[in-house]
Chain A
Amino acid sequence: MSALVVTGLRVAGDRELLRGIDLELAAGGALGLVGESGSGKSLTCRAVMGVLPRGLRRTGGTILIRGRAAMVFQDPLAALDPLMRAGDQVAEVVRHRDRSGRRAARDRTLGLFADVALPEPERASRAYPHELSGGQRQRVLIALALATRPEVLLCDEPTTALDVPVQQEVLALLAGLRAGLGLALLFVSHDLPVVAGLCDDLAVLADGRVVESGPTGRLVTAPRHPATRRLVDAVLPVPTVPGEHDD
């Protein structure tokens, strides 16, 4: 069963930017969308979510989502309201989604904060976005997305702005949510090692088209399309320190 099926998606502004995108994301699966900047990764994500930037419109194709989709953005500081406490922002979504009262919304918000492993959920819910660290803000944003009870989580470079150790924690959280809640993930990133660590399948975008797709292992070991090969070749290797495996 598929959680998300995109067929022949076209988006245009002054010129055509997405030129017939086909994607399929299995229920509970994880699909990585990779490509150079300007290839159409983020745009695909936004088109699926129905939040295209001003001046762009969908000119063709179909998008089928089983259930609900929610999106996690790259820069949580820009996505959160700076004048509203983190807990209130999430509770607002909960009240709207669940049609629940203030009390119930507050309890569920604290539950969500615990789900995304925010340390001290009570304190975090009273904090304003600027009072939280980058990693904590990204967790709030993920809680905000989970508040809508989605089946599909669209992640647009959610760890790019984070330091490597924090990045690793957020990736582990996403993998955990996928396993625990059966969430399907569409994960956009320019960082191949990050995507490869999380996703079973990859779709490589170049110039508004999917030029290659398939199982992650096959694509990174035997890339066929030049665009895929460029991405694989661009990865700067870092040796693994003997006996220093993270577990």
Chain B
Amino acid sequence: MTEAGLVVEGLRVTLGGREILHGVDFAVAPGRVVGLVGESGSGKTTIARAVAGFVSSRGSIRLDGTELGGDRRHRTVRRSIQLVPQDPYTTLNPRLRIGRVLEELLGLHRLPPGGGRTARRARAVALMEQVGLDAAALQRRPSQFSGGQRQRVALARALAVEPRVLLADEPTSSLDVSVQRTVLDLVAGLSRDAGVATLLITHDLSVVHAVCDEVVVLRAGEVVETAPADRFFTAPAHPYSRRLLAAVPRLEASP
């Protein structure tokens, strides 16, 4: 049987002479959403950066059975792993209309295959629809969107190049709580529909509970527990997981 999705084994990252990740193992199957949780400084973002190839690492990072290693300059490899940032405002060019951003990106990756300008435009419209925005949004610049809409745009941009892996780093932590749920459902729904392996990085267990299939708990650069979400929330195995869960403020517990 061939291996599908993202598989990370024995991942080690050293930054500034200090080892940040001490041999991390986890896997994300196509169409699954895995929540990576842990406190700040535990190494969550470093994992995303290593998988995306932004920092050098030791160990194995495989995509559909192929070792990614250091070969990140190859366009198809780079294309297959997309990042949805915490605050898309910082990564979208403020001067460009969204339509132009998407069409340039599609052109760069020669998508859709064999299609010209008209095909790219049609694809951009379809992407907007997928993330719940209308075609008129293509004429707008990043500043003309609300935070939630901007995160939809960021998602459209990530999905435009038909990635195999989506790395979403705290995608809703800069959003108002009232739009958090819709954006999370969108990320999870689109990942599942497109068969994308999604790693959702968050410190917020309520986010994990809302959309994730599995949970990976990271503490000080080590994975302390990996479990299906339903088991994690009903019977967390590791004392640290239990401590994290117990600390979540709950509305029911109010006076």
Contacts and interface: CB of A to CB of B under 8 A. Distances in A.
Interface of A: 36-37, 134, 163-168, 171, 190-194, 196-197, 200, 216-217, 220, 230-242, 244-246
B176 A200 contact: no
B108 interface: no
Interface in B187-246: 203-207, 209-210, 233-236, 242-246
A61 B155 CA distance: 44
B253 A197 contact: yes
A217 B254 contact: yes
Contacts of B245: 238, 241, 244
B147 to A, nearest CB: 8
Given A190-B177, A197-B254, A238-B233, A164 B244 contact: yes
Given A220-B254, A236-B209, A237-B250, 6 more contacts: A164-B248, A200-B255, A216-B255, A235-B251, A240-B253, A245-B246
Contact of A165 (B233, B247, B250): B247
Nearest to A239: B233
A239 B203 CA distance: 16
B251 A192 contact: yes
B249 interface: yes
Given A36-B176, A234-B177, A217 B255 contact: yes
Given A241-B236, A245-B246, A236 B207 contact: yes
Contact of B251 (A37, A164, A196): A196
Interface residues of B, number: 32
A233 B177 CA distance: 9
B234 A238 contact: no
Interface in B28-57: 39-40
A191 B209 contact: no
A193 B205 contact: no
Given A217-B254, A238-B206, A241-B236, A164 B247 contact: yes
B180 interface: yes
B123 interface: no
B121 interface: no
Contact of B254 (A164, A196, A239, A245): A196
B235 A236 contact: no
B62 interface: no
Contacts of A242: 234
Contacts of A244: 236, 242, 245-246
A236 B181 contact: yes
6 contacts: A163-B40, A164-B248, A165-B39, A191-B249, A236-B206, A238-B245
Interface string B136-180: 000000000000000000000000000000000000000011101
Contact of B248 (A166, A190, A200, A238): A238
Interface string B119-131: 0000000000000
A121 B243 CA distance: 26
B176 A238 contact: no
Nearest to A190: B177
B40 A193 contact: no
B249 A240 contact: no
Given A36-B176, A234-B181, A236-B210, A241 B254 contact: no
B249 A237 contact: no
Nearest to B209: A238
Contacts of B204: 164
A74 to B, nearest CB: 13
Given A165-B39, A165-B243, A241-B236, A232 B177 contact: no
Contacts of A232: 251
A171 B255 CA distance: 14
Nearest to B250: A193
Instruction: Give the most central of B245, B251, B253: most A CB within 10 Å.
Output: B251
Contacts of B242: 241, 244
Nearest to B243: A165
A168 B249 contact: yes
B145 to A, nearest CB: 15
